[in-house]
């Protein structure tokens, strides 16, 4: 694939999503999951890339996990024009896991919780039948012809058996160049999908919803895991801000070093305690690599100890891979956050 392929792929993907009307957010969640996996894995410009369907399932659960919380006085939001099974499965399992102090899907996955993996099995079956079977089919009913440009879906159907899944190894294989394109253009594709997702939720809920607030609710970090790690990070950092090294105030902020909007990683390896001024100034900006490298270089034993006390997973390997994927894909000149009011162009 030539050097223009990533842009061509992105244009085709957006055109696919803009064709017709969706009846659920399943396609959008699955694409976001694919993008996240691709960001965390470095694949050559013309290489194929195999993704286990189970891995996509874990990521899809992660997206809906936050979204099945009640939204203000409106209750749980509809994710479909009809009844959506996947959010319903997750809404049922979420309080069961939280009662075990497992506040994120990653935490439940890490300890091998049986209720969580029962959920995974249910969601995985739904993903296989739809949206994976129809992911690359435009919503327009009159469309005919071959549409596969992300992965070969010819083996998939809405009645796919375990034997048929065994034959393909329970995975999808992204076509040459697709993983590279998703990784390179994640920063452009992800916001487009989030806007479409938010618009769909507004359309399916009869309440008067504030779109700006809704987007933060749908795609922001779940604050429950942030609150529980605060005292431990304060101790680890000797009560000093990770960024400016000033004494931390009584009320501290927990920051995602790699912004949650870039890749949704709620793990100890991606958390630091920060002064409110630094955290608010940094906001969703990617920091200079020195900050990220310093966070990832923290003692593994210390991170594991915090994880053991809080039941929040470390996710060190995933954070390392995401860091490499994001920084290696940045074009020169992108402004990176250095400190309060200070930025440095990438590659300078």
Q: Which one-letter DSSP state was computed for residue 180?
A: H
Which residues, given as ranges, of the chain have pLDDT below 70?
Answer: 1-4, 20, 139-146, 208, 210-212
Burial of 140 (0-12, 13-18, 19+ CB in 10 A): exposed
CB 295 within 8 Å of CB 242: yes
Contact 44, 177 (CB under 8 A): no
d(CA 102, CA 150): 34
Q: Nearest 5°: phi and psi at 275?
A: -65, 145
Residues 146 and 13 in one domain: yes
Domain boundary among 204, 219, 234: 219
Q: 341 in a domain, yes or no?
A: no
Residues 185 and 57 grouped into a single domain: yes
Number of domains in the chain: 2
Give the model confidence (pLDDT) of 226-239 as tens digits: 889 999 999 999 99
Q: Are 71 and 107 contained in the same domain? A: yes
Are residues 71 and 45 both part of a single domain?
A: yes
| 231 and 214 part of one domain | no
Helix (H, G, I), strand (E, B) or coil at 89: helix
Residue 242 shares a structural domain with residue 95: no
State whether 165 and 273 are in the same domain.
no
In a shared domain, residues 194 and 228: no
The reply to whether 235 falls in a domain is yes
Task: Find the domain containing 264 and state its range.
Answer: 223-331
Give the Cα separation of 73 and 96 in Å (integer): 23
| Residue 344 resides in a domain | no
Q: Kindly give, in sequence order, each residue whose CB lies less than 8 Å from that of residue 185, ignoring residues fewer than 6 positions away.
A: 6, 7, 9, 10
- In terms of domains, do 242 and 174 share one? no
Torsion sign over Cα 294, 300, 301, 305: positive
Position 346 in a domain:
no
d(CA 84, CA 82): 6
Do 310 and 203 share a domain, yes or no? Answer: no
For residue 189, being part of any structural domain is answered with yes
Q: Are residues 298 and 206 in the same domain?
A: no
**SS3 (DSSP) at 345:** strand
Q: Is residue 203 domain-shared with residue 162, that is, in the same domain?
A: yes
């Amino acid at each position: 694939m030539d050097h223009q392929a990533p842009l061509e792929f992105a244009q085709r993907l957006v055109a696919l999503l803009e064709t017709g009307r969706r009846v659920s957010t399943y396609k959008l969640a699955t694409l976001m999951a694919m993008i996240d996996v691709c960001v965390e894995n470095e694949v050559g410009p013309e290489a194929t890339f195999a993704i286990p369907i189970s891995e996509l399932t874990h990521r899809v659960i992660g997206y809906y996990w936050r979204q099945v919380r009640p939204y203000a006085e409106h209750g749980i939001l509809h994710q479909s024009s009809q009844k959506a099974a996947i959010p319903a499965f997750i809404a049922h399992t979420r309080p069961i896991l939280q009662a075990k102090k497992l506040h994120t899907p990653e935490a439940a996955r890490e300890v091998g919780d049986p209720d969580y993996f029962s959920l995974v099995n249910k969601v995985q079956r739904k993903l296989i039948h739809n949206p994976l079977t129809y992911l690359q089919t435009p919503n327009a009913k009159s469309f005919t012809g071959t549409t596969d440009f992300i992965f070969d879906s010819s083996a998939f159907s809405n009645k796919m058996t375990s034997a048929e899944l065994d034959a393909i190894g329970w995975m999808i294989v992204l076509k040459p160049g697709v993983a590279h394109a998703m990784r390179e253009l994640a920063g452009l594709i992800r916001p487009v999908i989030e806007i479409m997702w938010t618009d769909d939720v507004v359309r399916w809920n009869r309440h008067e919803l504030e779109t700006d607030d809704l987007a933060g609710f749908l795609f922001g970090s779940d604050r429950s895991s942030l609150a529980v790690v605060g005292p431990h990070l304060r101790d680890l950092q000797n009560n000093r801000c990770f960024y400016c090294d000033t004494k931390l105030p009584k009320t501290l902020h927990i920051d995602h070093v790699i912004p949650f909007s870039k890749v949704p990683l709620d793990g100890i390896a991606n958390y630091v305690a920060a002064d409110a001024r630094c955290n608010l100034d940094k906001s969703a900006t990617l920091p200079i690599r020195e900050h990220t490298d310093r966070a990832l270089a923290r003692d593994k034993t210390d991170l594991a100890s915090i994880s053991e006390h809080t039941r929040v997973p470390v996710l060190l390997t995933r954070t390392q891979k995401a860091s490499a994927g994001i920084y290696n894909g940045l074009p020169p000149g992108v402004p990176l956050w250095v400190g309060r009011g200070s930025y440095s162009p990438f590659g300078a």
